A and B are shown apart, each in its own frame.
Chain A
Amino acid sequence: MSAKAKWLKVLTSAGLATLAFQCAGAQTGQAKATVVTPDVARTIKAAADALGMPRTGGPGGALLPEIDVVNRMEILGTGSSSASGQTSKTEYHAALGYNPPAMRLEMTRTNPGGTPQHTIQTVRDNYAWDESAIGAGLEPGRGTATPKIAAVKDRLLHLWVLPYGVVKAAFVAGDKTTVSIEDGATVLTVPLSGELAGVRLKATLDSKNFITKVVAQTGGGMDIEADYSDYADHGEILTDVKSPGHIVEKRGGSTVLDIQVKTWDANNPYLVFPVPPDVKKAAAQESSKVAEK
């Protein structure tokens, strides 16, 4: 037998053994119908990859590791929102950032025959406030900023129920993040920390590893559920970051927000969330009251 033929025979034997092993594995799987739980780190990475979060390269950057590039985003959309049992046509504008954690949610709700209601709800770190205009309370004549310290947790939670928030929180939680298979779908379970300690996120991934559902279990009976679909790069300036084109948010089982996304700019645009001095003062007074008690 020639050397080439001997080599072919060895490789063939290895191949047959591999095929036999794989067939046996498949048969075992069919017989017992067991499903191997996916690895946590791989699942987080797969979800991050689907969203376009880990990035490298650029001129001079070919040897960089992959880094989570998502920080600041701006979302514009239209749809409906419900409050106190009334559903209104809604213009939706969210500006957000993860470093530092902050969000400014501007909504204009219009009921048939009614006057539009315009709200701006903002949060940054441990501060929450309402703005009468964008940037209110930062300079004279710019409008008023009304402290809403009690709303900090609820507003921050909106950052972490977004698909990017789930991935970031899962990375931070490390080995406290778990992965399971529920109804045939991969589910990441992520405990939040800091201000939101005690809240648990359950995120469902589809076959392309897009996060399609996030349930925030707050322990208070008013879980937040968010459904995401129609993923694409919705940015005016394309970034290859994929974002949902449709968001549905439910509270206690009822739909409170249903938004079709017009644009979702993920190019880390200039978005800032300085805390107005009066809001800082109110938060400090609140802290000292708590300390006194």
Chain B
Amino acid sequence: MMSYFGYRLLALAAALCLLPAMIFAQEEAPGMIHNVTVRPAPKGVTPRTPDGHPDFTGVWNGMADNLLGVPNQMHNEGIAVESDHSTYDVLSGAKIATWPLAKPKRQNGEQNERAATLLRRMGASRPIYKPEYWEMVKELDANANEEDPSNNCMPAGIPRVGSPSYIGQFPNYLIFIYPGQGGLIATQTMYRMIPLDGRKHTPLQDLDGSYSGEGIAHWEADTLVVDTWGFNTATWFDQLGGYFHSENMHVVERFQRNGNTLTWTATIDDPDVLLEPWTTTPRIQILNRNPKAMLPESLPCSERDLAHAVTREHH
């Protein structure tokens, strides 16, 4: 009769034999919860102000806020992950190979950062600089740890800051608030007070360049248009990519409200450095319907990472 020890040995062998099948089964299990980065379908009606324009007032959360992680940045850069099996590029419509994961992949910080670098930059939408600047843009992005002007808690500027998290809409002006973030990717809080009273721009030569420029709003049917110039050159115009600009940059932001969603785009024209104007991928935000919703206080911005960067790898 087999000893108890013998049974244990055989049981161990049996378990080892069954193990590959168990692992195989785990690898094959589809349908884990995934991050979807496609634009959400609008819900509800679009409220209007007494003068008949769409009302943008409210706290806007969600998809399009910048610098909130890789899925948001992929959405902003035009990569739509529809499901575990399907991804496409919003600009070109190209299908991108996608494989479901049975469970979150365990990666160390280095693997995460390298993956993030690629995921954020894989979209087809790129501003077209004049050829003499191609190498410079590439080098700025490659050396963003040192070159990114928003490092050290400097303002992201317009339009890099993206779409506001709070809009206050009044008959003759708008208030935009962009909360800052502490932590690893620190940004400074920004606000804008934008006239909506039919005034004209100050001549460009009379403006001192600033991070937010001189923004003036007007309506084009139901689209709220914010036209801005008068910038300094201390910002890049997108979240990543090394997209520098000149003092002659002209930005036109378009806001459209559809039910509980806000769609924001920015068209950047800078004849000094760009071959043609470039429009960002539409970014979508969702209204926070909680009537008590408030913006939290921004954490203090304190740059702690740069001093520890030892390679050129970056976000």
Q: A267 touches which one: B100, B117, B137 (CB < 8 A)?
A: B117
Residues 52-71 of A, flagged 1 when their CB comes within 8 A of B and 0 if not, give 01111111111111111111
Contacts of A62 in B (CB 8 A): 104-105
Pairwise interchain contact B118-A54, C-beta atoms closer than 8 A: no
- Asked if B138 and A171 sit within 8 Å, CB to CB, the answer is no
Q: Provide the residues of chain A in CB contact with B311, threshold 8 Å.
A: 237-238
A4: nearest residue on chain B (CB-CB)?
Answer: B4
Selected from A5, A15, A57, A272, the residue in CB contact (under 8 A) with B10 is A15
Name the interface residues of B96-139: CB closer than 8 Å to any CB of A.
Answer: 96-101, 104-105, 107, 111-124, 126, 128-132, 134, 137-138
Q: Tell me whether B130 and A139 are in contact (CB under 8 A).
A: yes
A169 to B128, CA, bound (A): 27
- Would you call B153 an interface residue if the criterion is a C-beta within 8 Å of the partner chain's C-beta atoms? no
Residue contact B87 to A18, C-beta cutoff 8 Å: no
Contact A238 B114 (CB under 8 A): yes
Please report the C-alpha to C-alpha distance between residue A268 and residue B115 in the assembled complex, in whole angstroms.
11
Residue of A nearest to B72 (CB): A60
Give chain A nearest CB distance to B1 CB in angstroms. Answer: 11
Q: Which secondary structure dominates where chain A touches chain B?
A: loop
Interface of B (DSSP majority class): mixed
Q: Which of B17, B85, B134 meets A270, CB within 8 Å?
A: B134
Interface residues of A in 96-146 (CB under 8 A from B): 99-100, 133-136, 138-139, 142
Counting residue pairs across A and B whose Cβ atoms lie within 8 Å, the total is 208
In the bound complex, do residue A61 and residue B35 qualify as a contact, i.e. CB atoms below 8 Å apart? yes
Q: Judging by beta carbons under 8 Å apart, are B95 and A172 in contact?
A: yes
Cross-interface CB contact of A18 among B18, B97, B112, cutoff 8 Å: B18
Chain B residues positioned under 8 Å from A16 (CB to CB): 10, 14
Per-position 1/0 for B290-315, Cβ under 8 A of A? 00000000000000000000011100
Which residue of chain A has the shortest Cβ distance to B86 in the bound complex?
A: A65
CA distance A68 to B69 in the complex (A): 19
Q: Which residues of A contact B87 (CB under 8 A)?
A: 65, 67
**CA gap between A60 and B67 in the complex, in Å:** 10
Question: Is the pair B99, A65 in contact by a Cβ cutoff of 8 Å?
Answer: yes
Tell whether A15 pairs with B184 under 8 Å between CB atoms, given A135-B131, A142-B131, A240-B111.
no
What string of 1s and 0s marks CB contacts (under 8 Å) between A66-82 and chain B?
11111110000000000
Quick one: given A48-B97, A139-B130, A236-B312, are A58 and B112 in contact (CB under 8 Å)? Answer: yes
Give the chain A neighbours of B55 by CB distance below 8 A. none
Please measure, in the bound complex, the distance between the C-alpha atom of A133 and the C-alpha atom of B130, giving whole angstroms: 13
Residue in chain B with minimal CB distance to A15 = B14
Task: Give A237-279 interface residues, CB cut-off 8 Å to B.
Answer: 237-241, 266-272, 274
With A68-B96, A237-B311 given, name 20 new contacts (CB 8 A).
A8-B4, A9-B7, A14-B18, A15-B17, A18-B14, A57-B107, A60-B35, A62-B104, A63-B32, A63-B33, A65-B84, A69-B122, A70-B118, A136-B131, A237-B313, A240-B111, A267-B118, A269-B141, A270-B126, A272-B134
Query: Which residue numbers of A lie inside 8 Å of B, CB to CB?
Result: 5, 8-9, 11-12, 14-16, 18-19, 22, 45, 48, 53-72, 99-100, 133-136, 138-139, 142, 167-168, 171-172, 236-241, 266-272, 274
24 A-B contact pairs sorted by A residue (CB < 8 Å): A8-B4, A8-B8, A8-B11, A55-B115, A55-B119, A57-B107, A59-B69, A60-B70, A63-B32, A64-B71, A65-B84, A66-B98, A66-B99, A66-B100, A71-B121, A99-B94, A100-B94, A142-B132, A238-B114, A240-B111, A267-B142, A269-B142, A271-B138, A272-B126
Question: Across chains A and B, which 9 residue pairs bring their CB atoms closest together, nearest first?
Answer: A15-B14, A60-B69, A135-B131, A58-B116, A61-B70, A268-B121, A58-B70, A69-B118, A68-B97
